[in-house]
Amino acid sequence: MKEELLRKNVELSNFLHNYYGEEYPKFVEVMGKRLRPSIRVNSLKIEREELRRRLISKGFKLVPVPFYEDGFVVEELPGEIGNTVEHFVGYYYVQGLSSMIPPVLLNPAPGEKVLDIASAPGSKATQMAQMMKNTGVIVANDIDVERIKALSNNIDRMGVLNTIVTLEQGYRFGQLYPDTFDRVLIDAPCSALGTLNKNMEIVKWWGREKIGRLMGAQKSLILSGFDALKPGGLMVYSTCTITPEENEYIVNYLLKERNNAEILDFQLPGVVFRSALIHWERFYFHPSIAKCKRIETHHNPDFEGFFIALVKKLPS
């Protein structure tokens, strides 16, 4: 059924066949399945064990996430995941497992300065706030007024106090605040192909023209975020899509434009990462791009498709 829908967008269908090759049938198989939901315990408001006890008594079955102590996969649940008092008062946040990874890699410490350049609705900003124990400062920026409302609501619900919300073109931060932040997150606007299993609407608009427009934004955001980073600081560039033009190509562009950007390698327990590509169609990327990682749902049944680059800014 979903495969039939995919075939209606020939450009997309061709891309997926080309990208997945022999693995295409495996990709199609998982695209038809719903992922198990996952939650992040909000350590700003409740102890992990206390929330576990409360949810288990309501009929939830929770499985710990190996790479993040506050993450749980919900194996069984008595009703809607967001329809509990505990969710309403901000004891937990419903968040995909892939989405928990960028803050885990950035690992912001209490007292630091963090820029989240495209932050709404705030899954990762609120996660970083709890990692920072509500100290230091997070600048949580976005350009979409409606999404900023959701961001502000989430910040309130989760009891976050260290975050300033800004409505600004992300492209401007590099000029406005050069060499300022200890950590920068660029969770870029993208074509979201990694979320096809829950959002088949993408099939209606996905195309090369749209990708071209997104690439323009992604290129400006990655340079701006990098320029706003302090020398010695860490940056993550992430997307929930698989298109190499929105991922490897963008990080390669940063390496071409800034000679003090270094790609770092990483691994996490319980996640099967695939190395990023160094060759795609007519493009050849810098060999260090292979240290960036891809997450495929058919290798990790509870995770959405994702791309992650961990970047260090060297002194120039």
Ligand X SMILES: C[S@@+](CC[C@H](N)C(=O)[O-])C[C@H]1O[C@@H](n2cnc3c(N)ncnc32)[C@H](O)[C@@H]1O
The only residue of 71, 90, 121, 305 in contact with ligand X, by rule CB under 6 A: 121
Query: Which H/E stretch holds residue 67?
Result: none
Distances (CA, A) of 183 to 34, 110, 160, 232, 297: 33, 12, 18, 10, 28
Q: Pick the piece of the chain touching ligand X (CB under 6 A) from 23-31, 57-65, 137-145, 287-295.
A: 137-145
Phi, psi for 21 (deg, rounded to 5)? 55, -125
Q: Kindly state the tokens that stand for 12.
A: 């997309």
HSE toward the beta carbon, residue 75, CA cutoff 13 A? 7
Site for ligand X in 215-244 (CB under 6 A): 217
Active site residue 292: no
Span interacting with ligand X, options 81-89, 106-114, 165-173, 270-278, rule CB under 6 A: 165-173
Establish if 98 lies at the interface with ligand X (CB under 6 A).
Answer: no
Size of the site for ligand X (CB under 6 A): 20
Give the interface segment with ligand X, choosing from 48-56, 68-76, 138-146, 258-266 (CB under 6 A).
Answer: 138-146
Residue 144, number of CB atoms within 10 A of its CB: 14
Q: Judged by CB under 6 A, does residue 174 bind ligand X?
A: no
Q: What is the dihedral of CA 134, 140, 146, 151, to 10 degrees?
A: -20
Separation between Cα atoms, residue 75 and residue 60, nearest integer Å: 7
Q: Which of 18, 107, 135, 169 binds ligand X (CB under 6 A)?
A: 169
- In the complex with ligand X, the residue whose CB is nearer, 47 or 156, is 156
Q: Considering the complex, what minimum distance in angstroms separates the CB of residue 188 from ligand X? A: 6
Where along the sequence are the contacts to ligand X (CB under 6 A)? 99, 117-124, 141-144, 147, 169-171, 187, 189, 217
